[in-house]
Amino acid sequence: MSAAPGSGLFDLSGLFDLSGHVALVTGGNSGIGLGMAHGLARAGADVCVWGTNAERNAAAADELAGHGGRVAAVCCDVGDEEAVAAGFAETLERFGRVDSCFVNAGVSGRITPFTELSLTEFRRVMRVNLEGSFLTLRAAAAHMVERGGGGVLVGTSSVSSIQGSPRNQAYAASKAGLTSLLQGCGVEFARHGINTHSLLVGWTETPLASDTLHNETFERNVMRRMPQRRWGDPSDFARLAVYLAGGAGGFQTGDTIVVDGAYSIF
């Protein structure tokens, strides 16, 4: 009798062991990206983090090295096409391959009435959040297709992409674009064994969000709408990164995964 489709997945031994796996995490020197990188490194993966701040890169690399695997930190402005090409080439030179790519680098939008939102500000946000994601994902996808053997592409999006975000439309639009980009990649690259996932992240304690989250008025009004009565933490993304990088979802691809403590459905 022939085996049922996917029957090989019933062998769960070593499911979350990422030994020999190489993960690239952009924006990996702090916040959610660093949380992901810690989870990946703890599971045995070799990890390369990209960031624009050399000191934070070095500090992150020192932290991650404590898990015992190979670690590198590369200075890269993801909004610069040549910088992304050079950064990816350096990553391959150091590790030889990239098995999973976590696109996390991003900037926050400046809270501005829409009628006063300048094209310069709109483009500033898009340059990193959407164009930077496009450039990084394009490089990773090309490498994975050429190398063969599949891979994983993950983007850090936001629940703002599915909710009305007054005075922050540039940010919301950039994240909605990232989600659509990954859905298209999920369909196009499925035949190459490349899975894609978009994480719709809610209020999470990061350097970008900290000032907002700890504003007394904001915290009073929003925390009561948080069923778990807490903000998200970068460590919440560690296990999720390992699950996605290891392909534990199997048939799960091109999806959006909401990570917001049930905020958006409450």
The per-residue pLDDT for range 116-162, each reduced to its tens digit, is 999 999 999 999 999 999 999 999 999 999 999 999 999 999 999 99
The per-residue pLDDT for range 176-231, each reduced to its tens digit, is 999 999 999 999 999 999 999 999 999 888 887 888 888 888 888 889 888 989 98
Between helix 31-42 and helix 54-65 the angle, nearest 10°, is 30
Which two three-digit tokens encode residue 198?
A: 């978009």
Q: Which helix (H) or strand (E) holds 132?
A: none
Name all domains of the chain by residue range, CATH numbers in brackets.
18-265 (3.40.50.720)
- Of the two residues 11 and 32, the one the predictor is more confident about is 32
Amino acid at 52: T
Query: What's this model's pTM, rounded to 2 decimal places?
Result: 0.92
End-to-end CA distance of the chain: 48
Residue 172 backbone phi and psi in degrees, to 5: -60, -40
Distances in whole angstroms, Cα of residue 6 to Cα of each of 14, 44, 46, 203, 242: 17, 25, 27, 36, 20
Residue tagged active-site, from 50, 102, 171, 237: 171
What residue has token string 């190489």? 22
pLDDT of residue 199: 97
Asked whether the predicted pLDDT for residue 31 surpasses 80, the reply is yes
Question: Is 171 among the catalytic positions?
Answer: yes
Expressed in percent and rounded to 5, the helix, strand and coil fractions of the chain are 50, 15, 35
